[in-house]
Structure formats: structure tokens, C-alpha cells
Structure 1
Amino acid sequence: MLNLSAGINQAVAGLARPVEPSPLRDPVWLGWSEDMARTLGLPARATEALLKQCNGEGPFTLPPMAQVYSGHQFGGYTPRLGDGRGCHLGEVQGYELFLKGSGPTPYSRGGDGRAVIRSAVREFLASEALHHLGLATTRALAVLGSDTPVWREQQERGAITVRVSRSHLRFGHFEYFKHSDQPKVLAALIDYTLERYFPDCLTGKKPVQAWFFEVVSRTAETIADWQAMGFAHGVLNSDNMSILGETFDYGPFAFMDRCDPGLVCNHSDHHGRYAFDQQPAIGWWNLQRLALALSDHLDAEVMAAALAHYQQQLVARYLWRMEARLGVASDGEVQSRLDLVADLVEMMRRQQVDFHRCLRSLCRMDPGIDDNALAQWLGDDAQWWSWLSRYRDRLTLTELQPWQQQRARANPNVILRTHLAQQAIEAAENGDAAPLNQLHQALRHPYDEHPDHPHYTEAPPSWAQSITLSCSS
């Protein structure tokens, strides 16, 4: 049973409203995260009582709540959004639990408040995958399937993802209370945020300024991690941005297969606003929106300084990630370090190679040999030999085997590719959760070899190119 305690919804009046979840019909467990369960102090094995609570049936010690917020969606401001298809249950061990897909709320805007199996499974797998890759993200305790009919482009079946986070606060929460002219609620929300999530910022003379700098830094680091790991979020609206810098609200996300910096994974993004290579700029743009929401509490000079800090922090984090992947020294002039990485990515793009398999080959590479593992991917490029010379000058290699082992720990072997998620979804929709759980277990150990499941590390099949993802994904 979930032993729930009160949190932000009870502490900040006006943030949330009570809702009545709409349980799914004939719910079943599709996926369960044992390590997340242990973190929450729950049984390693899912129980019938937990199934009822995660399905919204209760009993609950607190009334489930839906929060209100706003946000900039595809660049335009939507003044009132909110939790339109889910509810907050309360806190367990300092983590907030959220049922995504539990039915309509006052913020559903005419929608049914449901998630479907494909979207719920994708969020469960993605949040767990990024966590075990070492990226900041919300987590998932479980995913439930059901016989509840739900209409999207066609009839599907309802599902619920049990999302877990230290905080569900979005940039859009602060935008809503600023632009709806509720300064007292905004001030209370800021105070709670500082005391609960950023207590170190309270020790200085200007805690709000210190907090904003921290949000800028965390956002920059998370987006830099996405760029280094080939992850495209797909819908970076300001209401999908976490103040903790966590990857938040998974929808039409995708890991790159073929190296394509211009990747647009969201079929609904007709102008490529949220393309992979646009994510750093969009992160900065969203931080500007947060700065405007906090403008009554921040000095203009502080906002400008913090936003200027964003690029520096993003570049530093990106280089730290990529240089670890490549096994080169993290020193020297920043531009030359960036050039080495950028020129590699450009060769990968020109040669149309698989982003992850190409970088994984570094764990088998002997850089002193001309016909090495990386050359087998990129050796036909006109810039290869000049790049290899610069690369060799930067290497930290002393002994080959330890260096290769370090590359294996920095370059994942198993990635949540779109076609792997699709195969797990189709099996789950047909009543077989085994492929989902096998994939989940592999994603918990992404840097290991998985000889029992060689298809996890193979090139995507040709049919994978026909998979389309949209906001309903």
C-alpha cells in the first residue's frame, strides 16, 4: 500500500484542485520498476493492493489533485493548461506520485483524460532508460494496461503510467500565476520552491537570484546531455520544462538512429521548431519565459547574467560528456575542443552512419592502428585522416584495454530505439508484456553486452523508418 504524505498541493493554496480519478476497466500490470519501488520503500513485487491504488481506485489518505499551469506551446502562449489527464496522489519518501492517464480533470479542455498503451509504455521505458544512462529525468514506478476503450486515430486501450519525481513544478506554473495576476500565490510558490527544493539558495542575500541561476545551470546540463546522447525530446514547450532540470513529459521523443542533427521526431512539428539541433536554443528561449514570470522578484541585470551563463554551462557539460565518450583530454582552448567534436559529428552526418553504434565502436578501437574500428565507419570521409591526427594528439590512452573499458562505460550499447519500443508496445497491446519487461531490464544496464538479445544492438530494420510519432505518442 502507498503510505502517502502531504506536499506542495496542500502547502500552496490555489495551485491544485481535488479530482476524482476514473479507474481503468480490468487493469493489469504491464511494467514495474523494482529499483524505483525499493527507493519508495515499496515491495519489490507489485501487489493487488498497489494495483488498485495505481489504478486510481484508492484508498487514499489524501484527495488526488490536479494542478493548474500555463505555458508557451510551439511559441505561442496558452494562458491556462493544467493536468488534463492525470492526478497527483501525494508523496512517498519525498517523491511525488502522479497517475498519468487517470481520467478527466478540470483542465482536460474537453479531452478524455486518458493515456493509451503506446504512450504509457513509451513514457515508462524512456524515463527508466534515461535514468540508467545517467541523465536527469522523472522516473516511472509502473505502467498499467486495461480493456478500457480509448479513441485516438482509431480505437485503442487505456493505460496509466505511474510517474515519480522530486517535483512536478514546471516553468508553466510560474508563468500562470504571473500572467493571471496572482502575485500572492506566485510569491508563496516561490517561497515553497526555495525552502523545499533549493534550500542552499536561502543562505545568500538574494535567494531568488541564486535559485534562478541554479535552474539555468540544471537546464543547460540536461539539454547538453541530450545532445551528447543523441536524444530528441520532441515537444519542448515551456510547460514541459522542469525547474529541477529533469527530462519531463515524454511524448514524441526519439533517440537518433542515423546521425541527423536536423532530426524532427514529432510528426506534429511541421516547422521543425523542436528539431534535435534546435534544443539548446529552445532551452534558452524557455528560460527567458521563466525569467519574465519571475521579473517582479529578479533584477534585470541578474536575469541577463544568468541567461548569459546558460551557453557557457551547456558547452562545458557537452564537452565533458563527449570527451568522455571519445577518451580525450578535457583541457585546452574551448573552440578547438568543440571543433574536434563538431567535425566528428559532421563526418557521421555526411557518411549517414548510426550515431550510437559508431560511437560504441570506440570500446573496440585501437587508435594507433590506421584501420581501426572507427575508421571502418568513417574512413571514407575526405576529412577522416586530418581528424584522426587531431584526435590522436588529444588522446588520454596509456594502456589500451583499460581505455577501451572506459569507452564501454561511456558509450551505451543498448538505446531505447523507436522500433524497439514499438515492438514492446505491439506485444503489450496483444496481451504479452514479456518483451516490454525484457527490454526494460536491458535498459537498466545500457552499457553491458546483451548476448541473449542481439537485436537490441543491431541496426534498425528498414520498416522502422515508417514509424511516425506525434503528440499523442
Structure 2
Amino acid sequence: MRLDGLTLRQPYRALGPEFYRAVQPQGVPAPTVSLVSDEAARLLALDAPHQDDDIRQLWAELFSGNRPPAGCETICTVYAGHQFGNWAGQLGDGRAHLLGETDAPDAQQNCGFPRWEVQLKGAGRTPYSRHGDGRAVLRSSLREFLASEAMWHLGIPTTRALCLVTSPLPVPRERMETAAVVTRLAPTFVRFGHFEHFSYGGQHDALRKLVDWTIARVDPACAGADNPALALLQGVVARTARLVAQWQCVGFIHGVMNTDNMSILGWTLDYGPFAFMDGFDPAHTPNTTDRFGRYAWAQQPAVARWNLLALAQALLPLIGPPQHAVDAVEAFEAQFSQAMRARLQAKLGLDQPQPGDDDLVDAWLAAMAENRSDWTLSFRLLGALGADPSAPVPLELEALFAKRPHRFQAWIADYRGRLRQNLLGDATRKRAMDGVNPRFVLRHHLAQQVIAAAEAGDFAPARELLGVLRHPYAEQPEHAAYAAAPPQDAEAPALSCSS
């Protein structure tokens, strides 16, 4: 389908004017479509604009905000939130414009959801921009584009990136940069903060309308529950527990898990100062604003639970007895632990849980932390280790634990003993481990390299990296350089929220 055949609706407007403001994007001068996700385009049944200059220009105009979609009024939504644990009050879409929604041609490509919302990020000021300029810069927009597509192919629920539009418009940040607009897709962009805004403001009728609207679109089965709001909360708790376990197991650090950055879907939302772990440091956060490590890797499960308690508090006017809401959130810990343990069991190639497996997993993580072993490489290389105690340990794996090898060597002996109790042989186990331990993730130094090239006008490296990240579990020997740990002189991820 050509872009001019895309039909968008704006059903969120039916909730009432207290939920949004109608505002046209400011757009950007001289927009250029610099990156397109063909897969995301297919989710909307759109023809990607690779060879047709007219279609490409149409994409540039619409997805920069320069040309509003025909027959559909663009809106931005109001929400609130807790930021770094503190109540921030009213926030809202400060640089996001919701173009509308469209039907998904194949709901199975969309985790079963029948529609996609289409949103511009970075197309100018809105009534909720506060002191911001409503812009996004090339650096952060390219990171979000790559990260969302990389996460999806890792099998982790996330918003999708349709395209990246760039512009020579200067945007002041820590340095002068240029503008970019990312077009994002999700079944809904409703966040925990949407419910906080109406609840904490005493707008309980509006809160009920939002809950009913969300249930109808996200979790229709909740409508038939004795307490629909409680059922919605229970679903969000379960989805968030699974999501955070997935984050932890690929070494992903979100960086800014404020309640306004938490999706009601249990999907990854808002790629700001994120990072994928290189050397394993449980206390690491890539966010330079996070001086006390609130959003470090090891803290993400606890923060997710804290955010769910904030959501539960917001839903209390509809849930009733507070203990019901508390019990719903208390289920998070067991659900997260179960999901995390099952994933770590699979990552270590342990086919049937046995007594002592948890201790074996914990000892592996302790050895990795002690040696600052590369998260992705350690798990991937472990698959090549055989159960035979006389076989040598792969040199690449051994090198990752060379700083303090004694704990690792003792662990290897225990691990091989455990492998000999597996029902599966070494070759089958390796295939299974390679299917859950990625060879490729979006490492910070790789992102920095393609950003530097893009800022110089060359998007070929970004397209090549995107192609590699679409097959994270495949060996891809021709792209081995993308699987390597960062050079020793590479800067550690240190990112601000200013993008």
C-alpha cells in the first residue's frame, strides 16, 4: 500500500478534551528519510520508499510533521509521573505527536493486538513541552531507532521504529546538534503516568473512563472480571515481571525507569540513556543523571515493583480495599523470580531443573561480576564448553575470567558435573543455548560509531548494523567484528537525559 492510502483514526479523542490537546507538529526544514524499517512498514502494509523518489518525499513530509495526515487531527496526551522516585506532577507528550491509529493487517505480527498507533517523536513543541523545545536530535533518535528494532529481534516486547527522518535544523544540547524525528509504533502509548495524572488530581470519573478504554483495547478479558481495574493491574504486573526478566537476561539497562516511561502493555518504552551491559557490573547505570544508581541493572526489578505500587495507588479509587492492590503487586516478586530463573536456566543450558541449580546460577553471576566478564560473550561462549572434564576450556571464554580465575575454574568443574546430568547431548545443548544467548547486541561503542558516521552524512554503517541486529542469535561469521567486546580505550556508556 502506498503511504497516501494509509487511513488513520484518532479514537483517543473520544475520551474527552481533558485527556489531550490537539496540536499540529512544527515539522523540520529539508526533511530526509535516512532510515526505514522494512519490517515495521509491513506491519502497516506500507510500501517502503527505497526506489521511488516521490514516495520517499511523501514519507519525509508526513513523518517529519511537515504535512499532517489527511482527515485526522494530530494530538498529544497528558500524563503525570514519578521521576527518580519523586512526584513530578503533570507531564505529558512534550515532544510526541500522535498521528492516529490504523488496523494491523496481521494481528499475529503484533502480539495479537489488532491495531497500531503511529507517533512522531521530535517534531516540535506541544502544550506539555514545559521548558523544552520539543525536538529530538540525530544522536538519540538513531539510538532509539536501532535499539527498538534490536530489542524486537531479541524477542523482547518493545515499541517499533518505522523510520528516521533527519534535518539540518540546529538543536542546542550539550553541544549544537541537528534535528531528527523518529516515527514509533505501538498498540498503545498509554503509560502508568496517564493513570497517575487523573487519580492524583482527583478526576476519578476520568480515571474510570481511561481504565475502561484501556481494558477494551489492551486486555478485554478484564471487562468480565468482578473487579476490572484490579484485573487490569494484575495483568500489568505479570507483563512487567516478564519484561524485566527479559531485560536482565540480555544485560539491558533502561536507564530511566520513571513511571511516565512505563508502558501499560509491559513493553519497552522510551529509549533514553539505555545501554547493553559489556563487562558485568550489577551496579552499573549508563545515566549520568542517576547519581545514586537508582536505575542500575541490579535495581531494575525493585524499581519495577515500586512503579507498579505507584500504579496500584493510582487505581485504588476503582479497586477498593487497598489490600487487594497490594496483593496484586506482591505477586510481582514471585513472577519475576520464576521468569528470571527459567531464562537463566536456559541460558546455561540446564534442561531439567534440579536441586542446586540456583546456587550454580548465582555462582556463575558472582564469577562474572568478580571478573567484569563481558555479559553477552560469556553466555554465548559457554555454549561451546563440553561436559567432558578432560576437555580444555575454550580460550576465548577463559580469557574473560583471567583477572580472578579461581572462582571461575571451580565453577567450571561444578558446571560440567551438572551438564553430565542433562538429558541432552553437548551438540543439542549448544544449539539450544545459541537460541537464547545472542551473539549480537547494540553495544554502546557500535552505536557511537554509526552515530559519528551519520552525523557526517553517511547512514550506510547504521543500515549495516541494523541488518546484523535483525539476526542476533545467528553466527554471522562475516560480521564477527560486531560481536566483539569494546576496545579497551572505548568510553563506557555515559548518557544524559537531555536528548
TM-score band w.r.t. shorter chain:
over 0.9
Give the counterpart of 1:92 among 89, 96, 102: 102
Question: Whole-Å Cα distance in 1 between the matches of residues 251 and 362 of structure 2?
Answer: 13
Q: Contact 1:397–1:403 at 8 Å: present in 2 too?
A: no
State the identity as a percent.
41
For residues 385 and 426 of structure 1, do their structure 2 counterparts lie closer, same or farther at Cα, with a shift above 3 Å needed?
closer
Aligned residue for 1:409?
435
How far the C-alpha of 1:104 sits from its partner, in A, is: 0.1
Aligned residue for 1:196?
217
Aligned letter for 2:494? T
Question: Whole-Å Cα distance in 2 between the matches of residues 307 and 413 of structure 1?
Answer: 34
Aligned residue for 2:66?
57
- Matches of residues 20-419 of structure 1 in structure 2 within 5 Å? 20-45=24-49, 47=55, 48-60=57-69, 61-93=71-103, 94-298=115-319, 299-332=321-354, 336-370=356-390, 371-373=392-394, 374-375=397-398, 377-378=400-401, 381-395=405-419, 396=422, 398-419=424-445
Q: Secondary structure at the match of 2:169?
A: strand
Note if 1:443 corresponds to 2:469: yes
Q: Contact 2:275–2:493 at 8 Å: present in 1 too?
A: no
Further displaced range: 208-217 or 381-390: 381-390
Q: What count of residue pairs does the alignment treat as equivalent?
A: 471
For residues 320 and 428 of structure 1, do their structure 2 counterparts lie closer, same or farther at Cα, with a shift above 3 Å needed?
same
Question: Whole-Å Cα distance in 1 between the matches of residues 334 and 493 of structure 2?
Answer: 36
How far the C-alpha of 1:383 sits from its partner, in A, is: 2.8
Aligned letter for 1:382? H
Question: Whole-Å Cα distance in 1 between the matches of residues 308 and 354 of structure 2?
Answer: 30
How far the C-alpha of 1:8 sits from its partner, in A, is: 4.2
Deviations for 1:290-311, whole angstroms, at most 9, x for unmatched residues? 0110011113222122111100
Aligned letter for 2:118? L
Further displaced range: 389-398 or 301-310: 389-398
Q: Contact 2:287–2:497 at 8 Å: present in 1 too?
A: yes
User: Unaligned regions of 5+ residues in structure 2, if any?
Assistant: 104-114
Q: Secondary structure at the match of 1:452?
A: helix
Question: Whole-Å Cα distance in 2 between the matches of residues 466 and 222 of structure 1?
Answer: 25
Aligned letter for 2:471? H
Deviations for 1:285-338, whole angstroms, at most 9, x for unmatched residues? 0011001100111132221221111000101111121111111035345xx433
Deviations for 1:227-261, whole angstroms, at most 9, x for unmatched residues? 11100000000100001111111100000101111
Q: Secondary structure at the match of 2:457?
A: coil
For residues 74 and 59 of structure 1, do their structure 2 counterparts lie closer, same or farther at Cα, with a shift above 3 Å needed?
closer
How far the C-alpha of 1:89 sits from its partner, in A, is: 0.2
Deviations for 1:423-444, whole angstroms, at most 9, x for unmatched residues? 1111111110100111111110
Q: Contact 2:284–2:297 at 8 Å: present in 1 too?
A: yes
Q: Contact 1:119–1:472 at 8 Å: present in 2 too?
A: no
Aligned letter for 2:474? D
Aligned letter for 2:486? P
Aligned residue for 2:478?
452
For residues 337 and 209 of structure 1, do their structure 2 counterparts lie closer, same or farther at Cα, with a shift above 3 Å needed?
farther
TM-score for the superposition, normalised by structure 1: 0.96
Further displaced range: 287-296 or 50-59: 50-59
For residues 331 and 364 of structure 1, do their structure 2 counterparts lie closer, same or farther at Cα, with a shift above 3 Å needed?
closer
Q: Contact 1:328–1:391 at 8 Å: present in 2 too?
A: no
How far the C-alpha of 1:397 sits from its partner, in A, is: 5.1
Question: Whole-Å Cα distance in 2 between the matches of residues 472 and 342 of structure 1?
Answer: 36
Q: Secondary structure at the match of 1:465?
A: coil
Q: Contact 1:327–1:397 at 8 Å: present in 2 too?
A: no
Q: Contact 2:117–2:188 at 8 Å: present in 1 too?
A: yes
Deviations for 1:124-150, whole angstroms, at most 9, x for unmatched residues? 011111110011111111111111111
User: Unaligned regions of 5+ residues in structure 1, if any?
Assistant: none
Q: Contact 1:362–1:408 at 8 Å: present in 2 too?
A: no
Aligned residue for 1:421?
447
Deviations for 1:202-224, whole angstroms, at most 9, x for unmatched residues? 23322222211110011111111
Q: Contact 1:35–1:44 at 8 Å: present in 2 too?
A: no
How far the C-alpha of 1:393 sits from its partner, in A, is: 4.7
Question: Whole-Å Cα distance in 1 between the matches of residues 406 and 128 of structure 2?
Answer: 55
Aligned residue for 1:9?
12
Further displaced range: 315-324 or 115-124: 315-324
How far the C-alpha of 1:382 sits from its partner, in A, is: 2.7
For residues 330 and 311 of structure 1, do their structure 2 counterparts lie closer, same or farther at Cα, with a shift above 3 Å needed?
farther
Question: Whole-Å Cα distance in 2 between the matches of residues 461 and 375 of structure 1?
Answer: 18
Further displaced range: 123-132 or 449-458: 449-458
For residues 297 and 393 of structure 1, do their structure 2 counterparts lie closer, same or farther at Cα, with a shift above 3 Å needed?
farther
Question: Whole-Å Cα distance in 2 between the matches of residues 159 and 271 of structure 1?
Answer: 31
Q: Contact 1:359–1:411 at 8 Å: present in 2 too?
A: yes
Deviations for 1:337-392, whole angstroms, at most 9, x for unmatched residues? 33222211110111121111111102322132452234554475333354334433
Further displaced range: 430-439 or 56-65: 56-65
Question: Whole-Å Cα distance in 2 between the matches of residues 460 and 318 of structure 1?
Answer: 27
Further displaced range: 353-362 or 432-441: 353-362
Question: Whole-Å Cα distance in 2 between the matches of residues 390 and 376 of structure 1?
Answer: 19
Question: Whole-Å Cα distance in 1 between the matches of residues 349 and 452 of structure 2?
Answer: 39
Further displaced range: 37-46 or 380-389: 380-389
